Amino acid sequence: MVDLWLDSVFNAEKPVEESKAVALLQEQARLLKSKTDGAVKATFSKLTGTTILDSPEASELMRGRKRFGSAPEKDEELKGKKDLGDQYKPQSYKFEIYNDIYRFRVFELIDKILFPIYIICDPDIAMGMHRDETIEIDNNKELEDIIRQILNSKKVRSIITRMMKKE
């Protein structure tokens, strides 16, 4: 019998890169409060209900996951076991900044353990970055670069400044 498993799976010479988006964005949300002396805060949380996931890539990503793995298990040895595949399904998140009066959704994230992941960005921010609103991200370095561009965009800087003045 032939062995089709890659040896690299078992010796971890080159591990598969997994998304660190959730931890990165939770930390960025915490940092804003201290950078503005509490005047402006950020929140990063899971989305429930409707989203702006109207891009072809995002729609196909979400739609494709509904076809696979939904039948009940009949194997006795699998009963009672959690499906680790659920952790690989896309999850939708939002990143918003706010103060006592206003809020602003900067972007939405479609994250899963493995790349690519997607950011659906505010149209003005995306235009200022010379990108489409839906940004495909293929690794953690690219994720950091994109988030840095978004958080330092003219529109986000302007909104934070106005929120600090409570205009």
**Residue 120: inside a domain:** yes
Q: How many domains does the chain have?
A: 1
**Residue 108: inside a domain:** yes
What SS3 state is found at 134? strand
pTM, to two decimals: 0.80
**Residue 77: inside a domain:** no
Tell me the pLDDT of the chain (167 aa) as tens digits: 888 776 666 666 667 899 999 999 999 999 999 999 999 999 999 998 644 444 555 555 555 545 555 566 578 888 888 888 888 899 999 999 999 999 999 999 999 999 999 999 999 999 999 999 999 999 999 999 999 999 999 999 999 999 999 76
> Which stretches does DSSP call E strand in the chain?
41-46, 91-98, 103-111, 117-121, 134-137
**Residue 32: inside a domain:** yes
The β-bridge partners of 91 are 111
Question: How far is the C-alpha of 144 from the C-alpha of 16, rounded, in Å?
Answer: 18
Structural domain harbouring 120: 18-65+84-165
